[in-house]
Each structure stands twice: as C-alpha cells, then as structure tokens.
Structure 1
Amino acid sequence: MRNATRAALAATAGIALAIGGATAANAAHDTNPSPKVASYSYTLNAIQPASVPESAASGTTRVKALPNGKLQVTVEAWGLSPNLPHAMHLHGVPGAATDMGCPGPGAAGADGVVSVVDGIPFYGGILTSLTSTGDTSPASALALDRFATADANGYLYYQRTFTDVPGYTDAGTVQVVVHGIDFDSNGAYAFNADDPFASMASSLSGAIPLEATVPVLCGGIAN
C-alpha cells in the first residue's frame, strides 16, 4: 500500500525530479483590505505526535493575491530545528477544487511519525515550492540550498512575491507545509544509527534521511 502511495506521490508532486485521527486545518482569515488585494492569514499547526522529538513548532502564514496575477506568501515560524533550511511547499490537488486538510498526530504510521507519504491523503501533492530564489516548481521540492533557514533560536521568516505561480488557481484549497526536523539535535539532516528517529529514511527515498523531508507544520490557505 505504501509503495502505491509513494508512486502516486512521485507522479503528482514531481519529487523524483527534485531528488535526481487527522484534523482539517484550523483557519481564520482576515477581512480583505480592498477589492484589489485579497489577504488572508492562517495558523500553522504542529503535525507530529508529542513523542516525536524536536517537533513542537508553531507558526503562521499569510497569502496576498495582488494585482496583475501576483501572489505574495509569508511564513513565520517558531520552534523549528535551528540553523537548518526548511523545505516549504503549497500542497494540494490539481484540477477540480478539493477541500483537503492537514494531518494530525493520528496520521502517524507504525514508525510513530507522520511522514510525507502519510500526509499525502490529507494535503495532496506539491503544487509550488516556496523557495527563496529561482525555480518554484515541484522539481525544486528538495532544493534545500534555496529554502529559508531557521536562525539559532529556531525562528524562520519567509516572504516572496510570485508571478504565475504553478497551482495558484487552486489556492483556495491548498495547504502550506513546512518540513524538516533535526531529531537528534546534531545540527544536520543526517542518518544516525544510534537514534531511533534519526536512523530512519525518508518515505520518498531510502537514500534521504527522514529528518530532511518529515513535515513539521501545516496550515490552510484560501483565496
């Protein structure tokens, strides 16, 4: 079953190119400041069970639909793994609008962790990579050198204005997902055979540490 899900994920989100119970998102939006600028903000909620180390993060996201088809995305988060980049994406289902949501601790697999694949039935595949520079397609899903980095206190601030964002037409039903947890607090996304969590591989590839891809925060967007 997991193999089928992994294959569906790669086809939908383009992850293969990039590397070479559950609760719906709790969302409360602002009043639009003007007819020309639609602005909404949402809470980013922790995904992992409390037993997963270094996973008790929190955050917010704001999305502004600007004139001329531009979209501004802001992410602010606290409690992330410090001094490390955190992959972030707009997840969703292309095509007809489907109101997806975010997984909660109850979505964890037998390994006790909510992996990317565990979350796919909730938030769908990748529509847009929230990189700081360059390409924003699913092909940049794990381009960690181009994602925002949390500071020494685990605080991350990200803002970018996009033009012709892939998946923007589905913005009313997508989720912002933030990835990356340094389980063993060694300052790197790396395998550690001596740690029960850091020893695990990503659900996307056995060659990638789970630390680099595991989702930590999720929240909903509406246009």
Structure 2
Amino acid sequence: MRNAPRIIAATAASFALALGGATAAYAGHDSNPSGKVASYSYDLNAVQPADVPESRASGTTRVKALPNGKLQVTVEAWGLSPNLPHAMHLHGVPGEATDQACPGPAAAGADGVVTVLDGAPFYGGILTSLTSTGDVSPASALALDRFAMSDADGYLYYQRTFTDVPGYTDAGTVQVVVHGIDFDRNGMYAFNPADPFSSRSSSLGAGIPLEATVPVLCGGIAN
C-alpha cells in the first residue's frame, strides 16, 4: 500500500505519546435514518489467527454522525479478556487514499500474531481515541485508565458522543479497533516469561507488553 510507511509511523507515534480474525470485518452498513443523521453499523470480528489464545471475541459497533458536528460511537463486545480496560480507537486514512479495511490472520507476522504495526497498513492511523472521559486525541491512544473495562464475563459496552472531533468527515469511512488480550489469563497486561505469548513485547517498544496493545477486534467500511 502506497501510504503504509506513513500510516505505520503515525500509529507508532500516537501510541508512544500515550505511554510518556479470523476474517476481514464485514464492510457493509445499514441505511441512513435521515438526511441529517448518518448511522453505520458494523460487525466487530476477531483479528488474530485462531491459535492465538484468548482471541476469539466478537462484537458490534455503531458510528453515528449527528448534526452540529457531533459523532456518537457505540461498541458492544463479548469474549474479551475479563476485568480489564480495552483501548479502542477510530482508525482511518485521510485524503484520497483508500484503506484496506480490517486485517485477518494472514496479516500476522512470523511470530504468529497480528500486532499494531501489522494492522496499521489495513485500517490506517488513529483518528480518535475512544476514551470514556477526557481527551480523545491520538495522544490518549493507550490511556488505559480512561478506556472502558470488560466485566467478569468479558462483556464490554461503550457509548460516547463527541463534539467537534477532527479527523474525518463521514462516519462511514472509519474502522473501529479494540485492543488488549490477556494471553495467560492472569488478570493483567504484563510480561510473563513463562508464557510464549505474554512474554513478548509490543511492536511499539520493548518495554510495552504485547498484551496491552495487540488488536483483538476490528470492524468498519473501507473509505
């Protein structure tokens, strides 16, 4: 993809600031309810190969462009790692470029995992951090204390209405990406040298656990 180096650099920078599938997602959307409200519903599908532990989540999302520059995002997911915050973002490729929708298992590197940087050429850079409170810019990409948490059963519900958020002009051109897999089910995102997956670092830096940043769900429509 012609914009892949720029997208990967931007994504890595966004996560760095914050720290200081099975198949490609369904790309269809429902009909707009009116001329003033553009509403798009997507399936959220698993990103990782089936043999990646604790990665078989699923979900849905609705991205609704409201009048006066407001945007409402709803995320509902099942099967996530329980009792943990999950970083979530709107991703996309600005301008005339088109993204490649969501990555599937084939996007995994030699380590067998689809990392943040493996996925970036598909869904683009971060446009908005879907935090529950406070800042929503890419600088909050991994502000885990402000993202929604899953419950004891791995269920997560999120909804927030954003006002005057830059980065996109149409709710139908973004991808919703959910991150975070507790591979060893020890209740935290941390390094565990005894586990073949939890022992690994994020593609964004050696000091960051892979568990905290790895994408688990993705859905949206290619712009």
| TM-score calculated relative to the size of structure 1 | 0.91
Q: Which residue of 1 aligns with 2:153?
A: 153
**Structure 1 pair 96/56, CA: closer, same or farther in 2 (3 Å)?**
same
**AA aligned opposite 1:9:** I
Residue pair 1:79, 1:153 contacting (<8 A) in 2 also: yes
Quote the residue 1:185 is aligned against.
185
Determine the structure 2 residue equivalent to 1:198.
198
Deviation per CA, 1:83-109, whole angstroms, max 9, x where unpaired? 000000011112225243100011111
1:46-125 counterparts in 2 under 5 A?
46-125=46-125
CA–CA distance in 1 between the matches of 2:183 and 2:217? 15
Corresponding residue number in structure 2 for 1:169: 169
Distance (whole Å) between structure 2 residues aligned to residue 174 and residue 8 of structure 1: 14
Counterpart CA distance in 2 for 1:19 and 1:50 is 29
Structure 1's consecutive aligned runs of 4 or more residues displaced over 6 angstroms after TM superposition are: none
How far is 1:174 from its partner?
1.9
- The answer for the alignment partner of 1:9 in structure 2 is 8
Residue in 1 that maps onto 2:44: 44
Task: Give the conservation status (yes or no) of the 8 Å contact 2:65–2:171.
Answer: no
In the alignment, the residues of structure 2 paired with residue 21 and residue 41 of structure 1 have an alpha-carbon distance, to the nearest angstrom, of: 18
Mark the CA change 1:71 to 1:136 in structure 2 (over 3 Å): closer, same or farther.
Answer: same
Q: 1:222 to 1:100 in 2, by over 3 A?
A: closer
Task: Note the alpha carbon deviations across 1:41-93, whole angstroms, 9 max, x for none.
Answer: 01001000011000000000001111111000000000000000000001111
The one-letter code of the counterpart of 1:107 is A
1:31–1:21: structure 2 CA closer, same or farther, 3 Å change rule?
A: closer
Residue identity matched to 1:113: V
Shift of 1:22: 9.1
Q: Which amino acid aligns with 1:214?
A: V
* Identity score, percent: 84
What secondary structure, in the 3-state scheme, does the structure 2 residue paired with 1:122 have? helix
TM-score of the aligned structures, taking structure 2 as reference length: 0.91
Amino acid across the alignment from 2:190 = A
Aligned length: 219
**Is the contact made by 1:87 and 1:142 (CA closer than 8 Å) also made in structure 2?**
yes
How far the C-alpha of 1:165 sits from its partner, in A, is: 1.5
Identify unmatched segments of 5+ residues in structure 2: none
**SS of the residue aligned with 1:14?**
helix
Residue 11 of structure 1: how far off its partner (Å): 3.3
SS of the aligned residue for 2:202 comes to coil
